[in-house]
Chains A and B, each alone.
Chain A
Amino acid sequence: MDDQIVRVISRMIIPFIQVYGIFVVLHGHLSPGGGFPGGAILGASIILYTLVFGAKAGAQLIPHTTSKWLESGAILLFIAIGMIAVGTGRSFLTNRATGFAMGELGNIISAGFIPVISVAIGIKVGSTMITLFLTMIDREPQ
C-alpha cells in the first residue's frame, strides 16, 4: 500500500500495539487476556506491518524459517515445562505440587510456570498467524 498517511500512522501505532500485546501476554495470570489474545495482537501488528510496507519487507522482518522455528520451539517449550511434572511422577502440567515457586499474589513473577507457558503460547499463536498470512500472500495470483 503506497500511501504516505497510512505509512506514517502505522509506523506510529505499531510499537503501541506491540507493547499492548506484550503486556497482555505477561499479565496472563493476573488480568483478562493471556497467551492467546496477546499472541494474536502481536501477530496482528506484524500483519499490519506486512500490509503497509509490502510482503518483501514483512518477509525480511520475520523470515519464513524464523517463524517456523519460533512456532515449533514455543510449543516444544510448553510440552517440556509440562513434562517436568511428569518426570517427578505427577500428572502433566502440575504446578504447585511439583515445587515451582508460587511467589506473591499480584506480582508478575508468581504462579509458578504460568507466565512462562503464557509467553510460549503467545509466541506460538503470533508466529502461526504470521506464517498463515505470509503463506497466503506469497502465492502467485492465478
Chain B
Amino acid sequence: MQILSLILVGFLILCALAAGRTKDLLSAVVIFASYSLIMAVLWLMLQSPDVAMTEAAIGAGVTTIMFIAVISRTSRMEK
C-alpha cells in the first residue's frame, strides 16, 4: 500500500508539472483531469471517501467540462 501510494504521489507531481508546462491548453486540461483522478484515488487511500467522491465528480468531471467550454470560446494554444 505504501509503494502504491508513493507511485501515485509521483504521478501526481508529474501531472501537476506537466499541466503547468504544456503549451497546448486542451492537453493541459486532459492532464489536469488525470491529476484529479489520481487525487481522488489518493483521497480514498487516506480514508476519506467523501472527499474522493467530490473530487471525482467536480475535479475530474465538471471542472474539465468548464475548461473545455472556455477553450472552445477562446484559442487552443497558449500565446
Indicate if the CB atoms of B50 and A44 lie closer than 8 Å. Answer: no
Residues of A within 8 A of B49 (CB): 32
Cβ contacts A108-142/B at 8 Å (1 or 0 each): 00000000000000000000010011001101011
Residues of A within 8 A of B65 (CB): 44, 47, 51, 133
Contact segment of A2-10, A34-42, A73-81: A34-42
Cβ contacts B35-79/A at 8 Å (1 or 0 each): 000000000000001100110011001100110011011000000
Indicate if the CB atoms of A136 and B58 lie closer than 8 Å. Answer: no
For A44, give the chain B residue with the smallest CB separation.
Answer: B61
**Among candidates B50, B58, B66, B72, residue contacting A32 with C-beta atoms closer than 8 Å:** B50
B33 to chain A, nearest CB (A): 13
For B73, give the chain A residue with the smallest CB separation.
Answer: A141
Is the CB of A58 closer than 8 A to any CB of chain B? no
Indicate if the CB atoms of B57 and A44 lie closer than 8 Å. Answer: yes
Tell me whether A129 and B62 are in contact in the complex, defined as CB-CB below 8 angstroms, given that A136-B69, A136-B70 are known contacts: yes
Q: What residues of chain B have their CB less than 8 Å away from a CB belonging to chain A?
A: 49-50, 53-54, 57-58, 61-62, 65-66, 69-70, 72-73
